[in-house]
Structure 1
Amino acid sequence: MTQTKNAVVTGGASGMGLEMARCIIERGGRVLIADMDDKALAKAAKDLGDSAVTQKADVSKPGDIETLAEKAFDELVHVDLVFANAGLQFDAPVIEATPEEFDLQYGTNVKGSWMTARAFARRWIDRSEEGRICFTGSEHSLGFQHDGAALYTGTKHAILGLADVMRREMPENVGVSVFCPGLVNTGFYASREKAGLDEDDEALKDGEKLMSMGMPAAKAARAAVEGALMGEWLIMTHAVAREGAEARWEEIDDAFRRQAPPGSDDSNYKVQELKKQISAGG
């Protein structure tokens, strides 16, 4: 795969998505950016110039995703990279979150990312073309980072699990990456407002203040693009996120050592091997 790539970026009209698009264009590629925000799309198109094509899309809707994929191959001809980046975050303690917040976050972050990946992977396979999906996960994919984000953390754990299985199921021409950034300076805390939900003004101000302390969006986006181009499976940006990942592994390791230490019958229950035996008629 050459370094001049065409890409699709969902959630591409602002924040990291916009910077991902800019990064691709700077490398000589063309980009189709998808977003729900008409005004932001128009502004992004003007900002990025003729190398960008826009499409309004709600990634939680199957029809929007299929339309997006068809337009991408029509407009760009070759689609090399797809950044499944659209996402929402509503912070609340787990017992105070609402079913509406659950549905919106899982519908966009998980279902939307899955449908995006599925639509483009199918087309790459049908066309025998190379391509790579880069899911936007999070430091929250790796382990506990902070309280108040249970639903969001659940969606990002789901992304990592989904992508891990997908990369093993895909043929060699379809690659999979997961981008796991920490705190980045974007307008992400405006998620509630964009979704039409009420938001406490003070809470929104606090969230925006927190985001302003994050890594510049352009720096994080550059890491995502460069990692995807290099074929990285996991793409990291914030060393501090390692603490959550290591703490998670230490708990897992301790539980295995105490409760299920290695034994002679381990292979008897390895599902992947049992499936092979069944397929072979054993």
Structure 2
Amino acid sequence: MAQKFENKVVIVTGGTSGIGLATAKAFADEGASVFVTGRRQAALDAAVKTIGGRVTGVQGDMGKLADIDRLYDAVQQKHGHIDVVFANAGGGEFAALGSITEEHYQSTFDSNVKGVLFTVQKALPLMRDGGSIVLTSSTTSISGTPAFSVYSATKAAIRSFARNWILDLKDRHIRVNAISPGVTDTAGLNELFGGGDQAQGTKDYLAGLIPAGRVGQPEEIAKAVLFLASDDASFVNGVELFVDGGQVQI
């Protein structure tokens, strides 16, 4: 049985843990040659072992343009083209209005907005016409969260990128969609929620607000990303796909 991404070259930024790692592994399992990025070499090496298949790790911070250039230099040397970009790298921390610092603002926007913008723009010379770009947004793009306004604003920007870039890229038939996960059980979320029992208590509380009755798993988000990236979604363009157990629909 043919694999959906056989002979495809896929970029996954922020691929060392959580949703990025699960998605990179899913692409590799479907036959893709996968390039993953991560800031820390040890975590990147561990991710490469976990992903398996035809995977290449490139250390870098996607908020730094020189690191993005190094990623695409590596792709150019091995393949010379890209079929899919999953611009996933990013993160955030809590900071309530009144305590937001310039550093907090700058680091969050550099990672989540500047990084995504230039990850995609610098991929374009290598992107095949008819390719697919998937951006990681968040349910916070349309719903309020206390002390999370800066992060939420970056994810609203990501959603706006998808709407506008489909117009910029229409002549090349490159689709751009945004995936918006809800509460997902990742190490990053546990850290954001304070770790240990505190994190578990927060997740249990949030699970009670989700119609599905539980938080999501990274593998569930990965399946949705692969759908958007695949030919199965050939007429899906510019959407924000919520993978959140129904939370933002109520």
- TM-score tier, shorter chain, comes to 0.7 to 0.9
Partner of 1:162: 161
Which of 48, 57, 73 is the matching residue for 1:70?
73
Q: Which amino acid aligns with 1:144?
A: S
Residues 186 and 217 in structure 1, CA contact (< 8 A), matched pair in contact too: yes
Could you state the TM-score of these two structures normalised by the residue count of structure 1? 0.74
CA distance, structure 1, for counterparts of residue 120 and residue 175 of structure 2: 11
Is the counterpart of residue 90 in structure 1 residue 90 in structure 2?
Answer: no
Query: Aligned-pair distance for 1:6?
Result: 2.4
Give the unaligned 5+ runs of structure 2: 208-214
SS at match of 2:23: helix
Query: What is the CA deviation profile of residues 107-147 of structure 1, one whole-angstrom value per residue up to 9, with x for unaligned ones?
Result: 000000000010112332xxx53321111001112x12422
CA distance, structure 2, for counterparts of residue 8 and residue 208 of structure 1: 32
CA distance, structure 2, for counterparts of residue 110 and residue 185 of structure 1: 23
Give the unaligned 5+ runs of structure 1: 193-201, 244-282
Query: Aligned-pair distance for 1:207?
Result: 4.2
CA distance, structure 2, for counterparts of residue 162 and residue 116 of structure 1: 12
Map 1:1-282 → 2, pairs under 5 A: 3-4=4-5, 5-124=8-127, 129-141=129-141, 143-170=142-169, 171-189=171-189, 203-205=194-196, 206-207=198-199, 210=202, 214-229=215-230, 230-231=233-234, 232=236, 233-238=239-244, 239-243=246-250
Q: Which amino acid aligns with 1:84?
A: A
Q: CA RMSD in A?
A: 2.2
Percentage identity across aligned positions? 24
Query: Aligned-pair distance for 1:25?
Result: 1.2
Query: Aligned-pair distance for 1:208?
Result: 6.3
Larger radius of gyration: 1
